[in-house]
Amino acid sequence: MLRLVNLTKTYRTGDRALTDVSLTVEPGQVVGLIGPSGAGKSTLIRCINRLVEPSSGQVFLGDTELTGLGRGALRRSRRRIGMIFQEYALVERLTVMENVLSGRLGYVGFWRSFFRRFPPDAVSTAYRLLDRVGLSDHVDKRADALSGGQRQRVGIARALAQDPDLLLIDEPTASLDPKTSRQIMRLIVEICDESGLPAIINIHDVALAQQFVRRIIGLQAGRVVFDGPPDQLDETVLTTIYGEEDWSATIRTAHDDDAVDPTEQAEGHDERETPAEILDRERMAGLS
Amino acid sequence: MAGTPASFPQAWRKRTTRGELLLWVGWLALVALFVFCWEVMNENTMWFFVVDAPAQALDLGSRMVPPRWSYLPALMKPLWDTINMATLGTLLAIVMAIPVAFLAARNTTPSERFVRPVALLGIVASRSINALIWALLLVAIIGPGVPAGVVAIALRSVGFIAKLLYEAIEEIDASQVEAVTATGASSAQVIDYAIVPQILPAFAGICVFRWDINIRESAVLGLVGAGGLGLALQDSLNVLAWPQVTVIFVLILLTVLVSEWVSARVRHAII
């Protein structure tokens, strides 16, 4: 179970990304997080595993308060949280297997990982996961040799290799075509159902969110403005979240699997916007 | 489209008339400065010697041919020293440059305010002094011979390698680092899995490129007593043995050609 209490994030530039966000995700629940670019969706999920340090508020995963942990304890807690990224964030020059095994880095010592001598159970888990996501034939290929959909499957396998208690998923389909997007979303939801894994999915495509998740949270300017089942998402709610617009097409596509709203597609590309540079630097701060 | 064509301006110029004028004045000032500098430079030129130059060059050239090829076997040991100086110096520089580069890169430095400036200062200091000057100092400290040359090459190369390497580190894709960090990996593992794969091609290219430069530099370090071909060159120059000088020049040219070929091949294979 994941619990956020009054989570607030203000960047050093003074940009307020999150204001008093409180929410609870039950075990096995898959939550879709929607909202306009810059609403704080990326910041929210990065505050959970503290790739971005929250300014105030608390994050609980089970009984552990993640916000109070020191470096070592944070590292051990991060092993329990799998993360899947928009542009896949695979290490391009490593093989598929190395990328999946990197999900086990938190569990093995430096020299073992340096010589790529992972324990037998980690290796067999990696093979099993690659089989599950349908990439058994690509184990020793370099990640940059794969197509977009295949890369995202490697990203999913890497997150699952951690044997996580929670999945954080940042725009998993923004760089994918409509068909692949649906396949990837279906795969994610299936896997979560199989193992009762809770997940938060940042997503731009409202129709896709309605199709695949059972709970949707709407974020607007860093505040939660909607929290409910997908069928409650009507024109009024969408206007609250995104602002005034003709929503009839967006809502209709929710019931039509093949049609895709072109504006939704276009929006996917300018996702990393406003304080991207600061965000980048804060992300890298995890290193030093 | 709103408005008729007539309502939009038909003339467009990149600069204002004033800007255009200033640009021309600027060019004129530059030409004037050049003419002035030329005058100052040639105040002390003795044109008598300059007029004489072609004849002097022909005279020196005639003394340099034919090359004394019998001198070649005696040059093999200095050639070996030169190659060793370049290679060992480059290796020593790489060992020192890697930590410096990680300390200097904005995204990996432990402290942007304190450690990074120190690392950058080290890089600048190393780069601002020519290998020949380093060798001059080191021959005085360590004494003449190959070790002084190795250290001179290394000290000059540290800054070069560290600078290019830290720039490569700063250009890496942050999301890959973020992804590996999110798995709970330690800092050392993040460097090994997310940063090293991204900078490896650049790193290999930088090292081979610097080795190639060092072969050329170490060939002249002997002029100040650091061993190798330069030492032989100085010996020959001192006794005005011009045919031997020719042989040394040819040898240096061949060595540089070979090193250039090797480095091109290696870089091609990696990138």
Residues B201, B271 contacting (CB under 8 angstroms): yes
| Domain A1-80+165-177+191-288 CATH assignment equals 3.30.160.150 | no
Which residues in chain B have their CB less than 8 angstroms from residue A168's CB? 182
Domain boundaries, chain A: 1-80+165-177+191-288, 88-163
Query: In terms of Cα–Cα distance, which of A271, A158, A27, A168 is closest to B193?
Result: A158
Name the minimum distance, in Å, from the CA of B105 to any CA of chain A.
Answer: 11
- Per residue in A35-93, pLDDT (tens digit) is 988 888 999 999 999 999 999 999 999 888 999 898 899 999 999 999 999 888 999 99
Name the minimum distance, in Å, from the CA of A263 to any CA of chain B.
Answer: 23
Mean per-residue pLDDT of chain B: 89
| Selected residue of B103, B173, B176, B198 to mutate for chain A interface (largest A Cβ count, 10 A) | B176
What's phi and psi for A90, nearest 5 deg?
-80, 155
> Interface pTM (ipTM) of the complex?
0.82
Does residue B64 carry a pLDDT above 90? no
Q: What is the mean pLDDT of residues A231-239?
A: 85
| Angle, helix A276-284 to helix B174-182, in steps of 10 degrees | 50
Provide the CB-side half-sphere exposure for A15 (13 A, CA): 16
Structure tokens at B207: 């090292």
DSSP B240-264: T-HHHHHHHHHHHHHHHHHHHHHHH
- Per residue in A15-42, pLDDT (tens digit) is 888 999 999 999 889 999 999 888 889 9
Q: Which residues pair with A193 in a beta bridge?
A: none
* Cβ partners under 8 Å of residue B86, min gap 6: B153, B211, B214, B215, B217, B218, B259
Structure tokens at B197: 């794969």
CA distance A156 to A158: 5
- Per residue in B134-185, pLDDT (tens digit) is 888 888 898 888 888 899 999 999 999 999 999 999 999 999 999 999 999 9
| Selected residue of A90, A114, A166, A284 to mutate for chain B interface (largest B Cβ count, 10 A) | A284
Residue appearing with tokens 């904005």: B106
Q: What is the mean pLDDT of residues A136-164?
A: 92
For A208, other C-beta atoms within 10 Å of its C-beta total 25
Which residues in chain B have their CB less than 8 angstroms from residue A89's CB? 173, 175-176, 178-179
Name the minimum distance, in Å, from the CA of B187 to any CA of chain A.
Answer: 6
Amino acid at A117: R
* Closest Cα in chain B to A49: B182
CA distance B226 to A28: 72
Name the minimum distance, in Å, from the CA of B236 to any CA of chain A.
Answer: 52
* Closest Cα in chain A to B175: A89
pLDDT band at B224 (very low <50, low <70, confident <90, very high): confident
| C-alpha pair distances (Å), A188 with each of A157, A214, A258 | 10, 13, 19
pTM of the model: 0.79
* Cβ partners under 8 Å of residue B206, min gap 6: B161, B164, B165, B168
The number of C-beta contacts closer than 8 angstroms across A and B is 107
Torsion on CA atoms A134, A135, A136, A137, rounded to nearest 10: 120
Q: What is the mean pLDDT of residues B199-210?
A: 90
Cα B138 to chain center, whole Å? 20
Which residues in chain A have their CB less than 8 angstroms from residue B197's CB? 91-94
Does residue B268 carry a pLDDT above 50? yes
> Any chain A CB within 8 A of the CB of B204?
no
Residues B200, B120 contacting (CB under 8 angstroms): no
Number of residues that make up chain A: 288
CA distance A55 to A6: 10
Torsion on CA atoms A148, A90, A46, A219, rounded to nearest 10: 0
CA distance B221 to B116: 32
Q: Which domains does chain B have, with CATH numbers?
A: 83-270 (1.10.3720.10)
* Closest Cα in chain A to B201: A93
